[in-house]
Chain A
């Protein structure tokens, strides 16, 4: 029996788990996939927003602005890559200029203190790659870029270090309220019992809510497609470049990523299938065309990957946060679309407070572990590199050439708290395979390392989700093997 059971281990579930793990309660997270951050968290713009977009007075506005501040602190504590590079909302005509002015007022009302309106000259001076049609822009210095899956992983790891249990491959099939507790059944046959349930199931949060006859949540799954360009394009812009919304859509962004690439996207297309993260020629054409309006010199020939993510949009603009109206002890964190990544840490604080008011007894631990060490050879000085390599020579063997990731770092990712066990799991933890050759050189080496570290046959090593096998059988091998 758990006190609190969280469904979903994206960035929101992970943040909530970490927040609850500060207290002396028993805590578990159920994740349908085989790793953390497998849904929206791994396929989004990777932006920590300043908070001028949400309507003043909404939960979204409050949690965005507060979340921005919390995320910066957490990333520092937990060693997560995050950089406040600032954002620009760029205006190209009078209509846009009005919008920018409105955002300035709204942002100020939302509590952002350091917003500025930049003139055309200032825009072109600070951001020379911008289209020369720019009229003015809203500058928000607190906006930043983050490694979203590393962030979710760091939050989940902290929760585990502080006693939380995380169960992967645990697709929830039913939730029954039995007197004072819930019984949660999982596709693999296991059942879990808990006094309180937190629904953080992202695009599936409506399905989870309906299991307890709570039909207040209605997700409108919305696909967003992206380009990720080579590092040769990563220095094209210095800020996150947003467009003003038009009647056709919200506009696409162009931004450097925390890894030094350039990200371009997204569009917004309603999709019936929540699991459909495919891209389309028309969607990608639209994204490229829109992006070139703000930054005309993007070289799409340097594209290294396209991806799409499905966002948990709702008809209601605001986040749905709080106890279900139909079932006591069941809490929804639903419709957490953009700026959900930014708000996650604040949402976690909010829900813990709501739970406490609803009767969850929370007593602070005095030994809460709130740190995380990461070894990244790239970031070390020459002396530090040599010290590390002499202690373990595997840190001197580069496996991923494009991102300079060593065997030592990969082995470290395959052990410890919430270790990787797939090729993409290694990628999310170390960046190996994220570069311009997209794993062309290193994937076979990584399969070999996973196979030997985990003691499994290479044919069992997965690319990513369950079923994503890479190798099918041995080649003709004779009797000796």
Chain B
């Protein structure tokens, strides 16, 4: 059985950044496993720009962003095995993998980093009734057809969901000569980044229908018609508000799901709010020696934060591999309350935090002039002002070590409040 200090599953932005950082922190025998034939993951089909503003202070395209990390990885001693699928992981960190070149084999690793990314929610997940013709794609699948394979998926399109990929694809389809009739969002707000609403819809006069959804699909073989309607506050269609769109294409941008089938099968604890593993301050999962980072933990809006989070995982894995086993200190749970729907990490061990801890979270409603309050029982231990928080944009706060080192209980809470000016 081959043996590595560190095995990383996935060579998208998360896996690449984790590998580079683990190497920089002294781990030399690393295996990076990727199921595609090339490195870079989903970035390869994201040919639009806007990547890297935080990380590199530059506007890069997806492939350019990936290329930066691929070059860094090539400078390390990490072994890269593409065209390889991991079928199973055990708590003892034995990976069963399969590939055309090496066949089926088991690989042992001292530590594992899960970086499998996410997949798109499908029509079934939101139970859109109607017929089942061709011409209905998830936005990411359409993106692959257009940007990687070089084929158009249709001529007249409706986009359901205002997730970022859907917005990007509205513009992409338009630039390729298709007519995008509408973007339809069930929530009263967009779930995508504001800049994408402006640059991908407004700039091309594509109407955005908030509080609307698709209620029926017509077409025997290829899609012919999409029926949409306004929804009430319980997201139920309102009779009499139906709109018909003659179109041959429906793109679904209705959310992403962290791809955690390996994680679940391994018995690692999953947070039902994020659909990703519960992680500690250092991105370790509930299973010792198995770390996770990027979209497999929670769905990010910006790749820059994926890289940052993954570097943390790479560094922590290195520490673990090189013998720092003093990680099992007292655990404090981080409890998301009110408008805050979840946090990552969900738990922390203060002794393991060097200077500060960045906590990512999302909110379920828009708040102008918000205050994020961190409390230990009744006592507020930190608060952060934000100009605004919106559900479509992931938020973060940075807790300084001195704010959290003397917590009395075994949990802290995080909540968001509106600042009411006096």
- A residues near B (Cβ < 8 Å) are 228, 232, 275-281, 283-284, 300-301, 303-307, 377, 382, 385-386, 389-390, 393-398, 401-402, 404, 436-441, 443-444, 447-448, 458-459, 462-477
Chain B contacts of A401 at CB under 8 A?
35, 85
* Given contact pairs A277-B132, A278-B217, a sample of 4 additional A-B residue pairs in the complex whose CB atoms are under 8 Å apart: A278-B132, A306-B124, A396-B104, A472-B155
Task: Answer yes or no: B150 CB below 8 A from chain A CBs.
Answer: yes
Task: Answer yes or no: B133 CB below 8 A from chain A CBs.
Answer: yes
Which of B138-146, B354-362, B382-390 lies on the face that meets chain A? B138-146
Task: Answer yes or no: B215 CB below 8 A from chain A CBs.
Answer: yes
A437 touches B151 (CB 8 A): no
Task: Answer yes or no: B129 CB below 8 A from chain A CBs.
Answer: yes
Question: Once bound together, how far apart are the Cα atoms of A245 and B228, in whole Å?
Answer: 36
Chain A contacts of B145 at CB under 8 A?
444, 447, 471
**How distant is A121 from chain B, measured CB to nearest CB, in Å?**
31
B122 touches A396 (CB 8 A): no
Question: Once bound together, how far apart are the Cα atoms of A401 and B120, in whole Å?
Answer: 14
Task: Answer yes or no: B26 CB below 8 A from chain A CBs.
Answer: no
Chain A residue at minimal CB-CB distance from B116: A401
B103 touches A390 (CB 8 A): yes
A-B contact pairs, 28 of them (CB 8 A): A275-B220, A276-B131, A278-B217, A279-B130, A280-B129, A281-B127, A304-B124, A304-B125, A305-B123, A385-B103, A386-B103, A389-B98, A394-B100, A396-B100, A404-B87, A437-B122, A440-B138, A444-B148, A444-B149, A458-B149, A465-B220, A466-B221, A468-B133, A469-B222, A471-B152, A473-B152, A475-B150, A475-B176
Contact A277 to B141, CB < 8 A, known contacts A393-B101, A398-B35, A472-B153: no
A444 touches B220 (CB 8 A): no
Residue of B148, B153, B220 near A470 (CB, 8 A) is B153
Chain A contacts of B151 at CB under 8 A?
458-459, 471-475
B124 touches A438 (CB 8 A): yes
A385 touches B222 (CB 8 A): no
Contact A306 to B127, CB < 8 A, known contacts A275-B220, A469-B134: yes
Chain B contacts of A437 at CB under 8 A?
119-120, 122
Question: Once bound together, how far apart are the Cα atoms of A476 and B178, in whole Å?
Answer: 12
Question: Once bound together, how far apart are the Cα atoms of A310 and B151, in whole Å?
Answer: 35
Contact A397 to B125, CB < 8 A, known contacts A437-B120, A467-B222, A475-B176: no
5 closest A-B pairs by beta carbon, nearest first, are: A467-B221, A393-B100, A463-B134, A396-B100, A468-B134
Question: Once bound together, how far apart are the Cα atoms of A317 and B146, in whole Å?
Answer: 52
B144 touches A444 (CB 8 A): yes
**How distant is A267 from chain B, measured CB to nearest CB, in Å?**
13
Task: Answer yes or no: B154 CB below 8 A from chain A CBs.
Answer: yes
A278 touches B141 (CB 8 A): no
Which of A283, A386, A402, A437 has the most chain B CB atoms inside 10 A of its CB?
A437
Question: Once bound together, how far apart are the Cα atoms of A458 and B146, in whole Å?
Answer: 12
Question: Once bound together, how far apart are the Cα atoms of A305 and B248, in whole Å?
Answer: 21
Question: Once bound together, how far apart are the Cα atoms of A138 and B141, in whole Å?
Answer: 46
**How distant is A395 from chain B, measured CB to nearest CB, in Å?**
8
Chain B contacts of A397 at CB under 8 A?
83, 99-100
Residue of B122, B131, B155, B215 near A277 (CB, 8 A) is B131
Contact A440 to B134, CB < 8 A, known contacts A303-B127, A396-B99, A404-B87: no
Contact residues of A: prevailing secondary structure: mixed
Chain A contacts of B141 at CB under 8 A?
439-441, 443-444
**How distant is A230 from chain B, measured CB to nearest CB, in Å?**
9
CB 8 Å contact bits of B205-228 with A (1 = contact, 0 = none):
000000000010110111000000
Question: Once bound together, how far apart are the Cα atoms of A322 and B120, in whole Å?
Answer: 51
Chain B contacts of A283 at CB under 8 A?
129
Chain A contacts of B133 at CB under 8 A?
463, 468
Chain B contacts of A458 at CB under 8 A?
149, 151
Question: Once bound together, how far apart are the Cα atoms of A306 and B151, in whole Å?
Answer: 28
B124 touches A398 (CB 8 A): no
Question: Once bound together, how far apart are the Cα atoms of A444 and B120, in whole Å?
Answer: 15
B98 touches A281 (CB 8 A): no
Residue of A284, A444, A474 near B152 (CB, 8 A) is A474
Chain A residue at minimal CB-CB distance from B120: A440
**How distant is A348 from chain B, measured CB to nearest CB, in Å?**
30
Question: Once bound together, how far apart are the Cα atoms of A307 and B140, in whole Å?
Answer: 23
Question: Once bound together, how far apart are the Cα atoms of A303 and B85, in whole Å?
Answer: 25
CB 8 Å contact bits of B58-91 with A (1 = contact, 0 = none):
0000000000000000000000000101010000
Which of A301, A306, A448 has the most chain B CB atoms inside 10 A of its CB?
A306
Which of B129, B144, B146, B217 has the most chain A CB atoms inside 10 A of its CB?
B129
**How distant is B372 from chain A, measured CB to nearest CB, in Å?**
29
Interface positions of B from 243 to 262, Cβ below 8 Å from A: 248, 261
**How distant is A234 from chain B, measured CB to nearest CB, in Å?**
13
A396 touches B98 (CB 8 A): yes
Contact A440 to B119, CB < 8 A, known contacts A275-B220, A303-B124, A468-B221: yes
